[in-house]
Structure 1
Amino acid sequence: MLIEVIADTLSDALLAQEAGADRIELVTGLAEGGLTPGYAVIERVCKELKIPVNVMIRPHSRGFCYSEEDIEIMIQDISICKKLGAAGVVFGVLTPDHKVHSKHLNRLIQAADGLDITFHRAFDEADDQFAALESIVQYPQISRILTSGGQSSAADASERLKRLNELTADSHLKIMAGAGLSVDNIKAFLDEVPVTEVHFGTGVRIQSSYELAVDPERVRVIKKIIGA
């Protein structure tokens, strides 16, 4: 079982690593759903951590439908993340009618050649998640989809996530469950949905707040619960 923890500072990333996180999703703008962090933060975190760091590539918080200029900026961000030592990148692109934007996705994947790729929770805004899955699974470069099954909390979408996990079982693509998972619900969730990667944000923070730091004890308890 792999545990990914969101971090928006070097100190949070170090706390998560020390507590046993397996991978960091590095972002800024947590209240806006996550944006691309500054280059100095990316460089320091990638330099000082021993576990993989996957960086959010999202130039603004106005949804997941991007202009040509946005895509060019995202490609530049991906290039810089490579140079700064990121293990991977995290992005998602949709059309105005909430389908996977294949043209934009192709360009971002090409730019990210050699990096681990996560298709993020833009997937949860797709008009049809199963159709979106069929599109994404065509790309062997994409390692996983981060999703809450279309709900605000993954814990409320166990049937959907179980089905998505089943549909990817024989593929290269993994379903990483995230959003709303915590010390209190992770065991029951995994009893129903046998994913192999889980993603934590507020669930491993002090007072479950993005305004406060990562709580290493919560990470340790989760690792103990799931036997990681």
Structure 2
Amino acid sequence: MERENSTMIIEVIAYTLSDALIAARNGADRLEVITAPAEGGLTPSLGLVQSILDQVDIDIRVMIRPHSRSFVYSKEDIEVMERDIANLRSLGVSGLVTGALTPQGDVDTSALERLLAAANDLPITFHRAIDEAADLEQAIYTLGQYSQITHILTSGGRPSVLEATDIIEQLTPVAKQQGITLLPGAGLHIDALESFLRQTSVQEFHIGSASRQNGSIMNPIDVDKLSAIRRIADQFSH
């Protein structure tokens, strides 16, 4: 399970069973389980999720994203997502990662409410769809209406979260007021991690490429890199 609240929480992307096993043994507190990392993450197979659940005993949140065309979903897309959620709930996942926007760039509350209902009481991370929202802060207020949404994964609306340190710093207390944990991710790397954590005062962060061989999301997790990330994170734990 997750470490105590006083410990910096690391969420690591996993899209293979070996990713999950290595991450869990080397400092990850939570996994975001996906497939198609080159497309930003799509809904993974039930076989992968079941295999991870069988062998890994940490918080496992699973991506619900049917395609990478956009974050604007049709009625048919939502029906597929609801079915995926039902299947994953039956496996016993810790939570889900999803999101939906209107064509105007607002949170699609009608789509979101259907997904939350399908998830029943599972905690939800609203993913980087928020980085394409017309107004990040307004999107956080909208998401604050839903107690099921525990986290928002964001790069602060920039290609790399390292370009949005000031934005993360501003939005973290806004999210906290709404009962939501802001989860910065995308573009974090080891060299900048310590200064980023110090400046933003976040309690959790999300790691993808930074924990992998040659810094590529398409490569396996590098044990030394992930261990180094854990050591940096532990400097901020008390």
TM-score range, shorter chain: over 0.9
Q: Which residue of 2 aligns with 1:163?
A: 170
Amino acid at match of 1:82: R
Query: TM-score normalized by structure 1?
Result: 0.98
Does 1:24 pair with 2:14? no
- How high is the sequence identity, in percent, across the aligned residues? 44
Determine the C-alpha separation between the residues in 1 that align with 2:141 and 2:122.
22
Q: Which runs of 5+ in 1 are unaligned?
A: none
Q: Counterpart in 2 of 1:55?
A: 62
1:85 aligns with 2:63: no
Whether the 8 Å CA contact 2:82–2:118 is kept in 1: the answer is yes
CA deviation after TM superposition for structure 1 residue 222, in Å? 1.0
Alignment-derived partner of residue 44 in structure 2: 37
How far off its partner does 1:131 sit?
Answer: 1.1
| Structure-1 separation of matches of 2:148 and 2:45 | 25
Give 2:179's match in structure 1, choosing from 150, 158, 172: 172
- Note if contact 2:33-2:44 (Cα within 8 Å) is conserved in structure 1: yes
- 1:6 deviates by 0.2
Query: Which region of structure 1 is more displaced relative to structure 2, 141-150 or 218-227?
Result: 218-227
Matches within 5 A, 1:52-201: 52-201=59-208
* One-letter code aligned to 2:118: A
Q: How far, CA to CA, are the matches of 1:113 and 1:71 in structure 2?
A: 15
* Superimposed CA distance per residue, residues 9-49 of structure 1 (whole angstroms, 9 cap, x where no aligned partner): 00001000010100000000100010001111111111111
- DSSP 3-state at the match of 1:81: helix
Pairwise CA RMSD: 0.9
Gaps of 5+ in 2: 1-7
Distance apart, 1:52 and its partner CA: 1.2
CA distance in 2, matches of 1:170, 1:134: 9
Asked whether the equivalents of residues 47 and 85 of structure 1 are also in contact (C-alpha less than 8 Å), the reply is no
Distance (whole Å) between structure 2 residues aligned to residue 116 and residue 53 of structure 1? 11
TM-score, structure 2 as length reference: 0.94
Q: Give the deviation of 1:85 after TM superposition.
A: 1.9
1:147 offset after TM fit, Å? Answer: 0.2
How far apart, CA to CA, are the structure 2 residues paired with 1:193 and 1:101? 28
Runs of at least 4 residues of structure 1 off by over 3 A? none
Q: Does 1:4 align with 2:11?
A: yes
Q: Count residues in correspondence.
A: 228
**CA apart distance, 1:170:** 3.0
Task: Write out per-residue CA displacement over residues 151-174 of structure 1, whole angstroms, 9 at most, x where no aligned residue.
Answer: 111111011111110212333211
- 1:158 maps to amino acid: T
